[in-house]
A and B are shown apart, each in its own frame.
Chain A
Amino acid sequence: MRKIKALFLVTMLALCCMVTACGKEDDGKIKVGVVNNPPSESGYREANVKDMEAVFSEANGYELKTFYSIKNDEQLQAAQGFITDGVDYLLISAAETTGWDEVLKKAKEAGIKVYLFDRMIDVDESLYEAAVVSDMAKEGETAVNWLLAQNLPEYKVIHIQGAMGSDAQIGRTGALDAQFASGKMKKVVQQTATWDEAEAKKIVEAVINSGEDFNVIYAENDGMAKGAVAALDEAGITHGTDGKVIVMGFDCNKWALRELLAGKWNYDGQCSPFQAKIISDLIKSGKAPASKKIINEEKGFDAKALTQSDIDTYGLGE
């Protein structure tokens, strides 16, 4: 009797498994594994993670698995795990550019398609379908072109740089350096504040105290622009759309865009964390992109043209 009972139970269990397995097959969800950096890294990453979760939702026909770490080896293990789990697509924003060869080869053998987002990896192009990334140099160019279009009689620029050697710093500095070299714009001061708002304020304060004239502040992120503006406010120097000094920032935090809307700043360059939609479109269309490297289109916002809906759509954070 006991044996029969046991047999019955086992059979039921097996049936259950089969049913659920079939169920999974049937609902036709696309299984996606995302390996990313943790949202605590920055406002950018926070928006990036949220965007991924929103686009690859069940309502859009996806089954999403995520893993967040800033450690490359933990990310590698997680990717390995996703491959064993049998995901259909693997999306990676790697902590480091190296060490991914083996894992991506395994993914390819298992027939899993790999998309890179935000960050490139040092591997052969054949190992991934496409990489959706930002072009920091282009962000700088867009900003500098905007500045040139303002047709100021002269450009005397305070340039506040991010942490030296970071991708964002190199990219955003490049275009402005070219202008300094050509003599079109005058470099009043070029200093790094290492993304530190308070340091940016000190740099601008030093220039004001020296009595040197300037009419543009080009800060490589929003926080440093805010620091610079605090120094201007204390010294009674007007800024923004009706002011003496043009204020430029990057990253498009919501609070920064609100400063633009109020006319206190002039320009904010986007560094778009929204790659999910592009990847989702690629997956659903099933087509291979023309080029493996897809540059995520990024805007630059002019205070005069900005609307509240832009802030809602493109602003990061709260």
Chain B
Amino acid sequence: MKKNGRKLSFAGLGQLTIPLIAIALLVVFNLIRDPGFFSIGISHNNNGNAVLSGNIISIINGASELAVLAMGMTLVTAACGGQDISVGAAAAIAGSVFVKVLKAGASITAGTVILAFLCSCLVAMIFGMFNGTLVAVFRIQPMIATLILYTCGRSVAYWINGGATPTVSSPIVTGIGSFIPGIPIPTPVIIVAVTAILFKLLFRFTALGLFTQSVGINGSAARLNGINEKFIKLLSFVILGVCVSIAGCIGVSRLGLINHETLLIDIEMDTILAVAIGGNNLGGGKFKLSGSIIGAYVIQMLTITLYAMKVSSTDVKAYKAVVIILLVVIGSPVIKERFAGWAARLRGRSKKVSVKGAEE
């Protein structure tokens, strides 16, 4: 434990070093490129409300779905040592259910919106449970188990509503997707904050965090210590299901439209990346939610930066890949060890500290 503490002290922030450095680099790069990039202004939207605007708002707002999914994905990653690649497809299903219930009623009130969200939550949790059962009970590799839903999810989403792009229009739905009158902060950002706080409370008042870690590090050892391994794994997928439903409903509310083919398309890869950039071990075990959330903002900042530079959106993915390769390589154990070695040597010159702290 002591050894760990010393390591933290010289790395500064431990696991969060890499994502924070990435953000810092992007900020510096943007400031050099365009000093006005981060200016925040207050403008009036077409409903006459004063709202915050600017690139930084676009980044934080646009990353909302990704941040919520990344939180759930972190838990699944930690518990199961694998990732769920069906989150995009499952979000399309959840969004479709949300729209279906909204359209079923005569008018859209706050009550029907809550009901619709609960229904979509329930459906997403059931699909999460399906994935979780395959992983926890049948011990199928998470990526293979979730490949099933990844493949068929968007067709299922089509069956729910039939038509290609059903729309819902209501001030309440618009409020969820953009701004609530009187509040200048985009609603999706508030939803992310609330979700993060709920997670924090969950870890604070239950031992879920510890249990998840121990299951992820060594499932049999955890089981021998009386932790229900299957239940913890299953639970992580169900919680991810809730996140999926939140993300799906935000996505639908932004535009008041569901397109089962394009809603949150390719988000699963970005989600996994966010978890990886956040410094979490993709093989399971120790995890930090804050890392994944920062990871999500790194990805979004990268995208918005590239758009602001007018990089063609067909090329954006390639540029993103280059940056991500760099981040992942820098975050890899081999490079980390090198850095730790150098750091220790530097410190060794000024103070006499053994190099032992660099190990692990």
- Using CB atoms and an 8 Å cutoff, list the residues of chain A in contact with chain B: 40, 42-44, 46, 164, 189, 191-199, 201-203, 205-206, 208-211, 222-223, 226-227, 230, 232-238, 253, 255, 317-318
Known: A46-B164, A230-B178. 8 other contacts (CB 8 A): A195-B261, A198-B251, A205-B58, A206-B58, A206-B307, A233-B47, A234-B53, A235-B53
Q: How far is the CA of A209 from the CA of B47 in the complex (A)?
A: 19
The digit string for B291-312, where 1 denotes a CB below 8 A from any CB of A, is 0000000000001100110101
13 contacts between A and B (CB under 8 A): A42-B164, A43-B165, A46-B163, A191-B312, A196-B262, A198-B262, A201-B255, A209-B58, A233-B46, A235-B53, A236-B45, A237-B46, A317-B163
B158 at interface by CB-CB < 8 Å: yes
Known: A191-B313, A223-B165, A223-B259. A198 touches B54 (CB 8 A): no
B357 at interface by CB-CB < 8 Å: no
A-contacting residues, B248-276, CB 8 Å:
251, 254-257, 259, 261-265
Q: Is the CB of A235 within 8 A of B43?
A: yes
Q: Is the CB of A236 within 8 A of B43?
A: yes
Residues of B within 8 Å of A, CB-based: how many? 42
Neighbouring A residues of B312 by C-beta, 8 Å:
191-192
Known: A164-B314, A191-B312, A232-B46. A40 touches B158 (CB 8 A): yes
B180 at interface by CB-CB < 8 Å: no
Known: A203-B313, A317-B163. A209 touches B55 (CB 8 A): yes
Q: Is the CB of B45 within 8 A of A235?
A: yes
Neighbouring B residues of A222 by C-beta, 8 Å:
165
- Within 8 Å by CB of B307, from A197, A202, A235, A237, lies A202
B166 at interface by CB-CB < 8 Å: yes
Q: Is the CB of B167 within 8 A of A255?
A: yes
Q: How far is the CA of A198 from the CA of B261 in the complex (A)?
A: 12
- Within 8 Å by CB of B262, from A192, A195, A211, A237, lies A195
A238 shortest CB reach to chain B, Å: 7
- Within 8 Å by CB of B257, from A194, A197, A235, lies A197
Neighbouring B residues of A195 by C-beta, 8 Å:
259, 261-262
Chain A residue nearest to B37 (CB atoms) is: A209
B99 shortest CB reach to chain A, Å: 12
If over half of A's interface residues share one DSSP class (helix, strand or loop), that class is named, otherwise mixed; here it is helix
B62 at interface by CB-CB < 8 Å: yes
Known: A201-B255, A227-B255, A236-B46. A40 touches B262 (CB 8 A): no
Neighbouring A residues of B314 by C-beta, 8 Å:
164, 192
B195 at interface by CB-CB < 8 Å: no
B155 at interface by CB-CB < 8 Å: yes
B127 at interface by CB-CB < 8 Å: no
- Using CB atoms and an 8 Å cutoff, list the residues of chain B in contact with chain A: 36, 43-47, 51, 53-55, 58, 62, 155, 158, 162-167, 177-179, 251, 254-257, 259, 261-265, 303-304, 307-308, 310, 312-314
Neighbouring B residues of A189 by C-beta, 8 Å:
310
Q: Is the CB of A317 within 8 A of B262?
A: no
Neighbouring B residues of A317 by C-beta, 8 Å:
163-166
B271 shortest CB reach to chain A, Å: 15
B203 shortest CB reach to chain A, Å: 31
Q: Is the CB of B265 within 8 A of A196?
A: yes
A266 shortest CB reach to chain B, Å: 16
Neighbouring A residues of B163 by C-beta, 8 Å:
43, 46, 317-318
Neighbouring A residues of B256 by C-beta, 8 Å:
226, 230
Known: A189-B310, A193-B313, A209-B58. A238 touches B46 (CB 8 A): yes
Q: Is the CB of B255 within 8 A of A197?
A: yes
Chain B residue nearest to A40 (CB atoms) is: B158
Give me the 5 closest cross-chain CB pairs, A-B, nearest first: A43-B164, A206-B307, A196-B262, A233-B46, A255-B167
Q: Is the CB of A236 within 8 A of B255?
A: no
Neighbouring A residues of B303 by C-beta, 8 Å:
202
Q: Is the CB of A253 within 8 A of B45?
A: no
Chain B residue nearest to A233 (CB atoms) is: B46
B208 shortest CB reach to chain A, Å: 32
Q: Is the CB of A209 within 8 A of B53?
A: yes
Q: Is the CB of A206 within 8 A of B254?
A: no
Chain B residue nearest to A195 (CB atoms) is: B262
- Within 8 Å by CB of A226, from B47, B54, B255, lies B255
Q: Is the CB of B165 within 8 A of A209?
A: no
Q: Which of A42, A192, A197, A227 has the largest number of chain B CB atoms within 10 A?
A: A197
Q: How far is the CA of A164 from the CA of B312 in the complex (A)?
A: 12
Chain B residue nearest to A208 (CB atoms) is: B53
Q: How far is the CA of A203 from the CA of B257 in the complex (A)?
A: 18
Known: A223-B257, A234-B53, A238-B46. A210 touches B308 (CB 8 A): yes
Neighbouring A residues of B304 by C-beta, 8 Å:
202, 206
Q: Is the CB of A233 within 8 A of B178?
A: yes
Q: Is the CB of B45 within 8 A of A209?
A: no
Known: A206-B58, A234-B45, A234-B53. A253 touches B165 (CB 8 A): yes
Neighbouring B residues of A205 by C-beta, 8 Å:
58, 62
Neighbouring B residues of A164 by C-beta, 8 Å:
314
